[in-house]
Structures are given as C-alpha cells and as structure tokens.
Structure 1
Amino acid sequence: EVGFFGLTTEETADISSPEAITFDNYIDTAEERVKALEALGVDKIVALTHIGYDDNPNYDNDQLLAEVDGIDVIVGGHSHSKLSEPVEVTTDENGDPKDPTVIVQAGQYGDYLGTLDVEFDDEGVVVGYAGDLIDVSEKEANAEAAAALEKYTSKIEDIRDEESGAVATEAFPNPRLEDGDEISVRNSETALGNLITDGMLDKAKEYNPDTVAAFQNSGGIREAIDKGPITIGEILTVMPFGNTLATMELSGGEIMEALEHSVSNAPKESGGFLQVSGLNYTYDSSLAVGERVQSVELNVDGEWVELDESATYTVATNAFTAKGGDGYDVFANAYDEGRVTDLGSSDWENFRDYVAELGEVTPVIEDRIVDVASEEE
C-alpha cells in the first residue's frame, strides 16, 4: 500500500492573507504523519508539498524535509524548481545514512509534465527510480479536449490579445535565479520593477501629492513583458493577484526598517524584496541582517535628499504589503494604527493606464538598489 500526506508552507502566514489559521512545524508534522501511516501498515510514503525545493530554510523546504526518515518520495511545488531529474537524499539531519528519499518538481505553469517510476524492495525501501520532464509545448493538443474548451478559450483570447495602447521598445525581463540568470527580480532592481513602481507612484500622487516613494513586493511580479504591443493578457499575467493601491504614513526610521527586511535574505531570493520608485538606496549583503542598508535617498519635490529617520513620509505600496504581507511587521503596525489608506485602485488597471499614457516604454536600470558587496567582488 502507498500512503500520501500533504504539507503547505508555514510562510503562508506572511505571503498570503490567511485568517484564523495556524501552521504547525512541518518537520514535526511530517514525522507524525509517517508514524500514523506506518501504524496502518503502509511502508511506501509520498509527501505532496508546497514548501519549495530550496526555499528559505528559516521556514521550510523539501531538501530539509527529505531528512525525515520514512518519507520515500516528495512531489514538490512552490519554488517553481525545474528538476530535470529526481534528486536523491540519503542522509538525515545529522549527516548519518538513511533510507533514500527521492524529490521531484516540474517547474511552473504546466510547462512540463513530470513522470516518476519508483522501485521498492520488500521492506518498502527505494532501490531504484527514473524520472523525466516532458515539455508540454512539444506535444499536440488533444482535439476532443480542445474542442470542449473552445467556448472558454475564445473569450479568454479576446481579453488576452487586447492591446493596452502601449508598446515595449525592448523586452522587460523578469529573471529568476533558477533560470540561470545572475540576478533575480527577488534580489535585484529590475526594469520591470521600476516601471511598475513608477506607475504606482504616479497614481498615488493623484490621490495624495505628498507621496514621495512607492514599493512593490517582487513576489507580486509574476512574468516578463515581451517586446512589442503590451497586451491586457500580459499585464494580467504580470500582476494576477488583484491587489489595490495603498498609501502609508511612515517615519524615516520605519522606512529604514522596511528596507532592512527587504534585503534580509539577499543575495538569495525573497518574494518580499522591494522594487522601488522615488527612492534610491545601497546595502551590503555581506553584513549582518538588520545592519545592511548603507544609504537612502528620497526624491522630495524634485530634489534627492538623504532619508531623515525622524521625519514622516507618505509612501505607496499594494494593500497586501501594507497590511504586513511578506513579513513586513513594520507596515502591519502602521496599518493597525490607522496610518494606511487603501485607495481601492486596482494594480493591473493602474499599470495599464500608466503605460498607455506613456505610449512607448523602454527598459531602464537606474541603480535605485545597489548591493555594494557585489560591486566589491
């Protein structure tokens, strides 16, 4: 018999908006599930996980989960890792030998269909396996299924292909480390992040002219924009969560605290890494967490001035981040104190209107965010 149990990341509390839900430690839970299944006589155990292959170890990930004795297979998600072949773990948390655990994950967005065959001995121990990723784009659509979906896909295509009125003179990438890029949207300034936050700041100023800066969590930027006409489908794919724009009244000290949190995991990736507009800063990823930010400048009334930690500033972000999403306790505190105003303006619609007004947009990196440790290397 084969037993299955599931795990989702404890980070959900920070990266989503769960209410009245608590998350237990994933290692403890996995050990309990293994014991419960073994008590039923099950000796082939599969964990279906959404905790990430190599995600932040301060929360959870599949490689650490694989150290739990008794789990034979982990079919993972969350980190969108493209594991071209299965990964085998044969040691526990102490580095001592254990029965093998095989980890698989098939990338993102249904680009690949993963296959896995596993051979067990009479004791339920993995003694052989073979896995592969099938590139779905190379396969022909099933004619019967495609016909059944036509009444839906035709409507989707109408929206997807509608042009916003803006044109990208060059592609706006959305790099990730696992794609082989040296930088990631989740650890570095990107041209797309600049464009999005510029639009946020522009819209926020319509409501409150005193707004000086805008922040966008990089986990909310999901895809790239191709060269050519920017379509509604592209915009919705880039920003699919339907967040609204919000403004916050923050002290300079609170802004500093937020920026420290933004770079706390760098140069590793973090969905909470902030893309910025109206603000430039440098940090040193080689220093201790909480002591990394070196300099911060804000564009106030057209002039770049040094951040005053005792002054009060109006900044814009999306409502998810403003409420403390991605672990921004400093923003959550401002929200609880009534210093956040949700403007009710949809993020993707703001972006659509902003680029349409510009007409042509060109990718630009402006050294808004600079890791001085990387420059020294």
Structure 2
Amino acid sequence: MKNIICKSIFLLTFIIVLSSCQKKEHIVKVQGVRIEINDTTPDNPDIEAFIKPYRVHVNKTLDSALAYAPETYSKKDGILNTAIGNLMADIVLEQANPFFISKTKDTIDMVLLNHGGIRAPIPKGTITSRTAYQVMPFENSIIVAEMKGIHIRKLIAYLQKSRKAHPISGLKLTVDKDFNIVSTLINNSEIMDEEIYFVATNDYLYNGGDEMYFFEQAEKAHKLNYKIRNAMIDYFKKVDTIAPKIDDRFLQVN
C-alpha cells in the first residue's frame, strides 16, 4: 500500500513538473496580404451566375418609376432655403406625423434636418427609389424630440449663426440684413418659452451631429423606426409630380 501511495505521489509530481515545463505559445505577429479588386479582376462565372438574378431584381426595384420631377432640384439653388431641402423637410413632416400620432396622440410641430445631409440633386425626369438612395444614402431614422420653447430659441440661434439652408418645416424664421431676429413662428404662432414643441429630426442630428447640441435639452425623445429615405420613397409613391419651391420659411429682409 505504501508503494502504491509513493508511486501515485511520484506520478502526480511528474505531471505537475511536466506541465510547468511546457512552453506556452503566443501570437506575436499577424501578416496579411492586400488583394485589390477592381475592373481588371476577372469575373468568376459561378459567382456571377449566382448573384445575377438578385442583381436584376434589385435594379428593377430601384429603377421602377415612382414620380416625376419637372425640374432639377439642387441644394445649391437657394441661400437660406432650397426647393429640395423644403421638400425633404415637408416629406418628413407629412410622412412621420401619422406614426407619431398613433404612438403619442400628439402631432409634430416642426422639422429640422441638415443641409449637408442632402447628398445629390433630384434630376429632372423620372423619380425612382434609386433617386431617394442617391439623395439620402444614409441609414438615418426619424426621431421626435420634445423641446421647450426656450430651447427652441437655441435651435433658432443655430440657424442664425450657420446661415445655411438647413431644411425646416413648420418653423418660419425671418431675420434682418445682420441676421437679427425679426420674427419666429411655429405653426404661424409666436413661440412660448415654457410650451413643449415636438421637433422631428434624424438620429444623427439628435445625437449632436453638425454641432446641433441644443437637442441635449430635449425633455424626451420618440424613436419612430422610420428611415428618412423610406419616408421619401413612400411619399414619391403617393404623388404623380413633385412641385417643391423656395419660399419664405427662412427669409432675410432689409
């Protein structure tokens, strides 16, 4: 019995010593090879055959006619507001409102988007889903922020300072030649400091994009899970011909 115990102790000691002597391996270097894929890369017939029906379906969906544009609309067409920017803000207001009403029983008071978010013009002619993807290639979704009137004034100060045609709807801002406020109206009424206004924007701006930090003052926010691009496509499906125009929603007077 004593010999068995001694042998067992010896075997256990041997295993422990052997384990401690084994060298542990670590990855010290990873090498990769850059394989460029461009127009000179030969096609793979098997891959091409596999993706061809999907490509045909996607292109057919993207290029199906939805509406018609009588003119070309670009964000460079105006100084303080543009036809394409006004159209986008109005689309958000019109398309998002039913979702917001069903969610909260309230209505959206105004919309604020950003000038830089318009990535392409709407060209004269047929409007398709591809048009919407080109104008709004980002995955930005609509958010409605609850903001007191006193914080809306910070939003207005941002517009005064930026002096850009950021798309707005529901808000009417008039400034003088030095960009001092002449009047500010929401739904054609004076802004009340303690009143809550429902401001639709996108998730990028709500989170401080384009230095729109005033959204940090929001009392509450409602995510609609509705992409701006999808709102555009839904709107185009409803109308025959679009007719956006530059108007007086952001106006400078002498």
CA shift, 1:159, in A, is 4.8
The aligned counterpart of 2:202 is 318
Pick from 166, 170, 181 the counterpart of residue 71 of structure 2.
170
Match of 1:352 among 215, 233, 253: 233
Contact 2:69 2:124 in 1 (8 A): yes
Output aligned runs, 1:265-304, within 5 Å. Answer: 265-266=162-163, 274-284=166-176, 286-287=178-179, 292-299=180-187, 304=188
Paired with 1:144 and 1:308, the residues of 2 have a C-alpha distance of 59
1-side partners of 2:168 and 2:224: how far apart? 19
Aligned positions, number: 205
Compare the two structures and name the one with the higher strand fraction. 1
**Greater helix content:** 2
Q: CA RMSD in A?
A: 2.7
Counterparts in 2 of 1:326 and 1:147: CA distance versus 1, 3 Å: same
- Give 2:132's aligned residue: 235
CA apart distance, 1:145:
3.9
- Which deviates further from its counterpart, 143-152 or 166-175? 143-152
2:136, 2:69 → 1: CA distance?
17
Q: Max radius of gyration: which structure?
A: 2
Contact 1:244 1:343 in 2 (8 A): yes
Report SS of the residue matched to 1:264: helix
Name the structure 2 match of 1:198.
90
Which residue of the partner structure matches residue 331 of structure 1? Answer: 215
Letter in 1 for 2:193: E
- TM-superposed CA distance for 1:352, in Å, is 0.8
Structure 2 vs 1, CA of residues 147 and 314 (structure 1 numbering), >3 Å: closer, same or farther? same
Taking a change above 3 Å as real, the CA distance of residues 359 and 327 of structure 1, as seen in their structure-2 partners, is same
Post-superposition CA distance 1:200-235 (Å, at most 9, x none): 111232122421111111111111001121111111
- Measured against aligned partners, the alpha-carbon deviations of 1:249-269 in whole angstroms (never above 9, x if no partner) come to 111121121121123132xx5
**In structure 1, the residue corresponding to 2:204 is in which secondary structure?**
helix
CA contact (8 A) 2:91 2:232 kept: yes
Conserved? CA contact 1:204–1:247, under 8 Å:
no
Residue 157 (structure 1) shift: 4.3
What is the distance in 2 between the residues matched to 1:149 and 1:229? 34
Shift of 1:246: 0.8
Pick from 147, 153, 163 the counterpart of residue 256 of structure 1.
Answer: 153
After TM superposition, the score normalised by the length of structure 1 is 0.49
Return the alpha-carbon distance in structure 2 between the equivalents of residues 313 and 162 of structure 1: 38
1:365 aligns with 2:246: yes
> Structure 2 residue aligned with 1:341, among 222, 230, 244?
222
Distance in 2 between the 1:224 and 1:149 partners? 36
- Partners of 1:253 and 1:310 within 8 A in 2: yes
Q: Percent identity?
A: 28
Deviation at 1:363, TM superposition (A): 2.5
Listed one character per residue, the Cα deviations across residues 303-346 of structure 1 (whole Å, up to 9, x for unaligned) are x2122223211121111112221111110232xx5x11111101
TM-score by length of 2: 0.71
Query: 1:281·1:368 contact (CA, 8 Å) conserved in 2?
Result: yes
Give the gaps of 5 or more residues in structure 2.
1-37
C-alpha contact 2:96 2:231 (8 A) present in aligned 1:
no
- Give the superposition deviation at 1:368: 0.6
**Contact between 1:259 and 1:293, CA under 8 Å: does it hold in 2?**
no
Alignment of 1:46-61 (within 5 A): none
Q: Which has the higher mean CA deviation after the structures are superposed, 241-250 or 199-208? A: 199-208
User: Which residue number corresponds to residue 116 of structure 2?
Assistant: 219
